[in-house]
Structure 1
Amino acid sequence: MLATLPACTGPLSTLEPSGPAGASIATLWWVMLTGSSILFVLVMTLFLLVIQRPGWGAGVSPGGWLVLGGLVLPAVVLLPLIAYALIAGESLLPLPGQAPPRIEAVGQQWTWTFRYPDHGAVETRNVLHIPAGTPIDILVSSQDVIHAFWIPRFAGKIDAVPGHVNRLRIQADQPGRYAGQCNEFCGLGHAGMRFDVIVHRPEDFSVALARAAASEGPEKK
């Protein structure tokens, strides 16, 4: 298992989080991995006891084994994991009354258009610009088929559904360039439906966005 961990790095890795939501999801993954490993060890221990010590456990009825091995043993591990997952999931939800900046993400085979209603409704294509250290509400929709908006290092994915707007709250810890993609098969060009995320220092964001939108040019919109 340890030999496979180097493959869990890179621009699309959920195990290298760069925001609070991404960190919560990564922690949940490690907790689930630990819990499943504990459950595996317990099951294999029982298996080896039966193989190495014939007659061990003969005093337990078949019904007792079903209850102990099928209910009690998994519950000891799975119930705490479920409780932790519910708590982690609740922590990802926006708090009532908060109204952070908004960015509209519109999917269309096979590009992403980003609109910034709080900045004169300017648009960028396949490049999302956000400020660092600030919660941002991404309003996700689609113009044709179902897509999925996903920036692995920031948060979980959310579907882009025609005629419906879904909201995803993200936050980036540090300035830099990150990667996002469509994570729902949407046609032959699905594999190329990726986008870049450029995170700016808060004081540079407005100017950088204006320059990026101007460089798009009317012909690209």
Structure 2
Amino acid sequence: MPGEGGAAQDRFGRGIHGFILTCVAALASAGCKGPQSMLDPAGPSAHAIALVWWWMFGVFCVVLVGVTVAWLLAMRSRRSWAPGDAERAGRRWIVGGGIVLPSVAVAALLIFGSSAGLHQLPLPGGQAASLRIDAIGHQWWWEIHYPDAGTSLRNEMRIPVGRPVDVHTQSRDVIHSFWVPRLGGKLDAIPGRTLVVRLQADAPGVYRGQCAEFCGLGHAHMVMTVRAMPADDFDAWMRTQKGAP
């Protein structure tokens, strides 16, 4: 059987391997891009959400490294404890690591996350007036309605670049969840209720939306396309829709 020295070396090796895997995961996540990646934001609301995620990930890495280093040092320590010292040290770890550290982390996350959450709300003010669009969930498709133009689209939303869009979510059957990851946060569509989330696109492009709440057998196919258009092109399109029968 291996001695204490061999066991300590094995634990040290596992700790190093875990640290390396964490670093590799961090590098891999830094390259996360794609039509539904919240780490590839394309609007102010999505940028705020991504920033919170990166701060959380950074704090997690710092805590993980700190705990790993403390554990490795403890495993390699040959200190002999006097009577009562181990118990006092254990209490300090419980208070510091089990009460103080989580309390500070949760409070900081609450403060930081609340400010980011303001970007998702339809607050008054800003340089451009917001546009209202109704997103109505059905099993298993999205009805996108423009009250100002009196027209509706199926599984397609068109928005102007650089202008806030207040999406009013509703549902005609079960609970759905409206989410365009690269443009903002997600919001449930609940029967009998209307909820509002604000989106905005920084640049023209095509973005993918997805129902983020399991709503039945066709849930995986309940997707939509969001087309962000230059403001002039969007205004011209809206005029054609107002004149449509």
TM-score (norm 2): 0.79
**Alignment-mate amino acid for residue 77 of structure 2:** R
For residue 133 of structure 1, give the secondary structure of its aligned residue in structure 2: coil
- Give the superposed CA RMSD: 2.5
- Maintained 8 Å contact 2:151/2:241: no
d(CA) in 2 for partners of 1:214 and 1:15? 39
d(CA) in 2 for partners of 1:6 and 1:96? 34
- Maintained 8 Å contact 2:42/2:202: yes
Could you say which residue in structure 2 is the equivalent of 1:108? 138
Q: Residue 37 of structure 1 is aligned with which of 61, 77, 80?
A: 61
d(CA) in 1 for partners of 2:157 and 2:164? 14
How many Å apart are 1:101 and its aligned residue? Answer: 1.6
Q: Residue 109 of structure 2 is aligned with which of 66, 75, 81?
A: 81
Q: Residue 53 of structure 1 is aligned with which of 72, 77, 95?
A: 77
Tell me the alpha carbon deviations over residues 190-221 of structure 1, each in whole angstroms, 9 at most, x when there is no partner.
00000101111111113334667999xx9xxx
Could you say which residue in structure 1 is the equivalent of 2:45? 21
**Alignment-mate amino acid for residue 183 of structure 1:** A
Q: Residue 65 of structure 1 is aligned with which of 73, 85, 93?
A: 93
- Maintained 8 Å contact 1:148/1:184: yes
For residue 43 of structure 1, give the secondary structure of its aligned residue in structure 2: helix
Deviating more after overlay: 53-62 vs 179-188: 53-62
d(CA) in 2 for partners of 1:108 and 1:44? 49
d(CA) in 2 for partners of 1:56 and 1:77? 33
d(CA) in 1 for partners of 2:65 and 2:56? 14
How many Å apart are 1:79 and its aligned residue? Answer: 3.6
How many Å apart are 1:9 and its aligned residue? Answer: 1.2
* Mapping for residues 170-185 of structure 1, pairs under 5 Å: 170-185=199-214
Distance 1:16 1:78, change over 3 A: same
| Structure 2 unaligned regions, length at least 5 | 1-24
Could you say which residue in structure 2 is the equivalent of 1:4? 28
Larger Rg: 2
**Alignment-mate amino acid for residue 53 of structure 2:** W
Distance 1:167 1:214, change over 3 A: same
- Maintained 8 Å contact 2:121/2:196: no
Deviating more after overlay: 81-90 vs 200-209: 81-90
d(CA) in 2 for partners of 1:107 and 1:203? 29
- Maintained 8 Å contact 1:35/1:78: no
For residue 104 of structure 1, give the secondary structure of its aligned residue in structure 2: strand
Aligned length, in residue pairs: 215
- Maintained 8 Å contact 1:114/1:123: yes
**Alignment-mate amino acid for residue 204 of structure 1:** D
Deviating more after overlay: 43-52 vs 106-115: 43-52
Could you say which residue in structure 2 is the equivalent of 1:196? 225
d(CA) in 2 for partners of 1:79 and 1:109? 39
Could you say which residue in structure 2 is the equivalent of 1:135? 164
d(CA) in 2 for partners of 1:78 and 1:8? 26
TM-score (norm 1): 0.87
**Alignment-mate amino acid for residue 86 of structure 1:** S
